[in-house]
Structure 1
C-alpha cells in the first residue's frame, strides 16, 4: 500500500472514531437527564399504566360518545401505545393492541375512516406500525393504501379548485394550512416510509412540511393556527413540534428539504424554551402568561425536546433539563385512573383570542393521553 493511501485511510479512520466518540458523548450526556426518575415516574411505569388504560378504553374519545369511525385522537394514542410496546418489548401489550385492531377487518370494518381528510388519513399510521412489529402483510396493504390515497387526485366534493391546485403542485389535496395537519400528514407518510423504505413517502412529507413552515411559522419560531388566525395555540403548535420531530427522525441526511426543516424545528425549540413555565408546563396560548397550563401541548413539546436531545439535534445541557422538567410535571396531572387532566377540548380555528382562553378543559381526553405515551417511548428510544 502506498503511503499517501495509507495516510488517507488512517485519516478516515481517525475522523470516524472522533465522530463516533462525539456521538457517544452526546448520547451519554443526553441520557444523564433521562434516567434516575423517582419511583412511579419512570417512562416504563407511566407508559405501561397509560397504555393498558388505552387498551380498556372503548373506541371514540372522551366527551364525544360512541364514534362511527376511528377518530384521530384514538389513532394517536393507539400509535403511542404500539411504539411503547415496541420499546419495552412487551409482547402481551402488543397482542392486546393488535386484538383491538383485528375486528376492523371484519365486524367493525365500517369504523375504518375514509382517507379523504388529514384527520382521517392519519389512521394509516396504526396498521403500518402493526406491520412493522408483526410482519403481517394485511397491515401493510391497508396502511400503504391509505398513505397513497392521501396523494391521489381529489374526487367528488373534495375536488375543489384549491384542492386541485395543491394536488397539481405536488402537495396532497388534503392541504388546508392548519398547523394540526403537519402531524396528521407526517405521521402516516413517515410510517409508510419506515415500513417500505420507499423514499417517495418521506419526500412527500418533507415537501409538505416546508410549505407549512413557509406559510405559518413566525419570526419567533411559533406558528399561527392558520394564516387568518394569528394566535399561538398550544396544542396546534404541539402538532407542529411533534410532526417535525417524527419527520426528522427518519428523513435522510441528504434530503434537500432537511436543512430547512431542521432550521424551523430548532427555531421553534429555542422559542419554546423561553415560554416554558418555571414548573415545566406550557400554556393554552404559548405566549400568553395569563392563560392556563395545558397538558397536551406540554406533552408534545416535551416529546419534541426529548427526541431532539436524544438525536443530537439539540444541545443536551440546554434542552435536557427542560425536557426532564416537562415530563416530571406533566405526569403529576395523571389521576388515580391514569387519566390526564387539563386537556384542551377539540378546537377549530377562530380569529378570537378569548375563544382559545375559554376552551373547555377535559380529563382523560386522548388528545392528552397520546403525548404521554409518545414521551414515554421517546425516553426509552
Structure 2
C-alpha cells in the first residue's frame, strides 16, 4: 500500500514538473513570437508593404483641395515613398495631382501653407524634366519676393506660425537648388530667422505654435494643467520635419547651414527626451499626463526627422537609434487593418484630446510615409 502511494506521489510530482516545463516553453515561445512580430516591422519588405497600403488607402479616401497644405504634407510623404519603393502607382498619383492643380500653388500669395504642395512639383520636375511642372511656382515666387507683407493683428511677420517652417522653406530651397537662383533660399533664410527669433524658446528648445502664445498681454498666460508652457507636438513636428527636408537640400558649405543644424540638433535632443514608453509623443509635449494616447502626426514627423539625422550623420546612432526604433514600433501600432493611420489629431492650432483609432488626416499619412522612407535606411 505504501509503495503504491509513494508511486502516486512521484507521478504527481513528475506531472507538475512536466507542466512547469511545458508552461516555461510556451512562455518562451510567446516571448520569441512577440519579439519576432515586433522586429518584423523593420524588415524592408514589411516597411514598403505598410507604406504602400497606407498610401493606397489615402488615395481612395481623399480630403481637402489638392493644393491645400494638408495634401502638401501628404504628397511630400508620397514622393519619399516613391523614392523608397519605386512603385509607379505613387508616381502616377503625384502626376495626376499636379495636373489637376495645373501645377499651381494655392491662391494666397503670402501664405506659406499654399506653397507646401510645390515641394512635390519640384520632385516631379526632377524626374520628368518638364518645365511646366515648376514654372507657375517660379512666377508665383517672383511676385512674392517683390510684394510687401501686409501686417495685421498678430501677423507681425510673414511666417508667424511655426507650421510655416515645414510648408515654405523646403519648397523655396528646392526651387533655388533646382533653378540655380539663390534668391529664393536667401528669402527663406530671412523669413526663417524672423520666425525663429519670435517663436523659438531657447530654454526649452521648442517652438511656440504662433505669436499668440508669446506676445505679452495676449496669450502669454497659457499653460497646461501641470503649469508647464504649451508646446504642441505636431507644431514642433512640422518644424523638425521641415528642417530635415531643408537640410537634405542645402549644400554642405552653405552660409546658413550651421544655424539650421544647430536648431535641428537642439530640438532633436529635447524631443527625444520627451518620448513616452509606447515610443510615441503626446499632443502636448510638456504635459503628457493630460493627453493619453500617442498622436500619429507629431510622432510620425519626429520619427522621420530623427531617422534622417542618423542616416545623414547629424545624430549619434548610439544615442538616437533606440529612440527611432521604439518610435517606429509605436507608429506601426497606429496603423489600422484597412491601412489608415489612426490616432491622428484633427486640424487645429493647439493640442487636442479628441482623437482615436478612427481619427485620420492626410498629413498623418504623409508623416508615416516620410518616417518609413528613412527608417528603411537605418543600419543596426
Alpha-carbon distance in 2 for matches of 1:54, 1:116: 29
Alpha-carbon distance in 1 for matches of 2:126, 2:305: 23
Do structure 1's residue 45 and structure 2's residue 81 form an aligned pair? no
Alpha-carbon distance in 1 for matches of 2:329, 2:170: 26
**1:117 Cα offset (Å):** 1.3
Which residue does 1:325 correspond to in 2?
A: 326
**1:37 Cα offset (Å):** 4.0
Which residue does 1:181 correspond to in 2?
A: 164
Deviates more, 1:245-254 or 1:367-376: 245-254
Which residue does 1:300 correspond to in 2?
A: 301
Which residue does 2:151 correspond to in 1?
A: 160
**1:193 Cα offset (Å):** 2.7
In structure 2, the residue corresponding to 1:299 is in which secondary structure?
Answer: helix
For the 8 Å contact 1:216–1:226, the answer to whether it is kept is yes
For the 8 Å contact 2:75–2:117, the answer to whether it is kept is no
Alpha-carbon distance in 2 for matches of 1:379, 1:149: 38
Alpha-carbon distance in 1 for matches of 2:346, 2:111: 20
**1:208 Cα offset (Å):** 2.6
List alignment gaps of at least 5 residues for structure 1: 1-34, 61-66, 167-173, 350-355
Within 5 A, what are the aligned runs for 1:113-124? 113-124=107-118
Task: Give 2:184's match in structure 1, choosing from 201, 210, 214.
Answer: 201
In structure 1, the residue corresponding to 2:119 is in which secondary structure?
Answer: helix
- Deviation by residue 1:122-170 (Cα, 9 ceiling, x = unmatched): 222222121112111110212323443443314xxx633789985xxxx
Alpha-carbon distance in 2 for matches of 1:252, 1:288: 38
- Number of residue pairs matched? 320
Which residue does 2:91 correspond to in 1?
A: 94
Task: Give 2:362's match in structure 1, choosing from 349, 362, 366.
Answer: 366
Alpha-carbon distance in 2 for matches of 1:39, 1:245: 23
Within 5 A, what are the aligned runs for 1:1-381? 37-38=41-42, 42-60=46-64, 67=65, 70-105=67-102, 112-154=106-148, 159-160=150-151, 174-176=158-160, 178-218=161-201, 219-229=203-213, 230-290=229-289, 291-292=291-292, 293-348=294-349, 356-360=351-355, 363-380=359-376
**1:316 Cα offset (Å):** 0.7
**1:324 Cα offset (Å):** 1.6
- Deviation by residue 1:235-272 (Cα, 9 ceiling, x = unmatched): 00111111111111122222232222211111111111
Alpha-carbon distance in 1 for matches of 2:208, 2:137: 31
For the 8 Å contact 1:71–1:113, the answer to whether it is kept is no
For the 8 Å contact 2:98–2:133, the answer to whether it is kept is no
In structure 2, relative to structure 1, the CA distance for the partners of 1:335 and 1:164 (3 Å cut) is: closer
- Deviation by residue 1:331-379 (Cα, 9 ceiling, x = unmatched): 2111112111111111125xxxxxx344555622112111001112223
List alignment gaps of at least 5 residues for structure 2: 1-38, 214-228
**1:197 Cα offset (Å):** 3.2
Alpha-carbon distance in 1 for matches of 2:210, 2:318: 34
TM-score of the aligned structures, taking structure 2 as reference length: 0.76
In structure 1, the residue corresponding to 2:284 is in which secondary structure?
Answer: coil
In structure 1, the residue corresponding to 2:288 is in which secondary structure?
Answer: coil
Alpha-carbon distance in 1 for matches of 2:299, 2:369: 13
Which residue does 1:9 correspond to in 2?
A: none
- Deviation by residue 1:264-291 (Cα, 9 ceiling, x = unmatched): 1111111111110122101100111212
**1:380 Cα offset (Å):** 4.5
Deviates more, 1:301-310 or 1:223-232: 223-232
In structure 2, relative to structure 1, the CA distance for the partners of 1:41 and 1:234 (3 Å cut) is: farther
In structure 2, relative to structure 1, the CA distance for the partners of 1:96 and 1:161 (3 Å cut) is: closer
In structure 2, relative to structure 1, the CA distance for the partners of 1:164 and 1:303 (3 Å cut) is: closer
Alpha-carbon distance in 2 for matches of 1:239, 1:151: 24
In structure 2, the residue corresponding to 1:341 is in which secondary structure?
Answer: coil
Alpha-carbon distance in 1 for matches of 2:352, 2:41: 33
Larger Rg: 2
Alpha-carbon distance in 2 for matches of 1:285, 1:38: 28
| Aligned-CA RMSD value | 2.7
